[in-house]
Amino acid sequence: AYRQLYNPYNLISGKEDAANNFARGKYTVGKEIVDLCLDRIRKEADKCTGLQGFLIFNALGGGSGSGLGSLLMERLSVDYGKKTKLGFNIFPSPQISTACVEPYNAILAMH
């Protein structure tokens, strides 16, 4: 029923994850994949007649959501200047945390 919900061309995956590490998500793994992400975003943005901005949903506990997410926001600011960028961030909770570094990832992502 939901097969057509997302265009498979726009689903991006890499060979490795950021291992719950903000720095890895932003500076190593994220750096390798961010240009591909921005290229796909550019192609979708080019289809718009009046692009207003972007909605970004990400979790800040892990390395990909915090590191790659903040890198992507930085690059969107450079590439799209004054376009609106709304971030909907999911913060880690001590009750259901899976890694002790989640609060650190969240703080680094929000800086």
Q: Does domain 8-110 have CATH number 3.40.50.300?
A: no
Give the separation between CA 104 and CA 97, rounded to whole angstroms: 12
Please say whether the beta carbons of 86 and 53 come within 8 A.
yes
pLDDT tens per residue, range 33-59: 999 999 999 999 999 999 999 999 999
**Span 58-81, pLDDT tens digits:** 999 999 999 999 999 999 999 999
State yes or no: pLDDT of 1 exceeds 90. Answer: no
Going from N- to C-terminal start, the domains of the chain cover: 8-110
